[in-house]
């Protein structure tokens, strides 16, 4: 019965390690800057700006959708608050 897996049948060549002066020294990654009070990493400035821009676009989309559905909103608000329409206030007679 054959075993599962592979067996390497090629020749092996031994390689001498390089001297320590020729070796590349990798520097450790810089530690992230932490918030002084919260001890959490500070986000990148570009990420913060992108999230803020997305929130503004979402707010604008909700505002435009509300303006588009203003008659339905008036109907709903009139059912809860009679006489409080979105029309400009005018003196009643």
pTM above 0.95, yes or no: no
pLDDT of residue 42: 84
Longest dimension (CA), the chain: 105
pLDDT digits (tens, 9 = 90+) for 14-67: 888 776 655 566 777 777 788 788 888 888 889 999 999 999 999 999 999 988
Cα separations (Å) of 92 from 66, 83, 89?
27, 11, 9
């Amino acid at each position: 019965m054959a075993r599962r897996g592979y067996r390497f049948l090629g020749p092996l060549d031994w390689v001498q390690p390089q001297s320590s002066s020729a070796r590349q020294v990798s520097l450790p990654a810089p530690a992230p800057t932490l918030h002084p009070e919260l001890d959490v990493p500070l986000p990148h400035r570009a990420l913060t700006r992108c999230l803020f821009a997305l929130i503004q676009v979402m707010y604008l989309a909700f505002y435009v959708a509300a303006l588009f559905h203003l008659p339905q909103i008036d109907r709903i608000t009139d059912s809860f608050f009679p006489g409080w329409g979105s029309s400009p206030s005018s003196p009643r007679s």
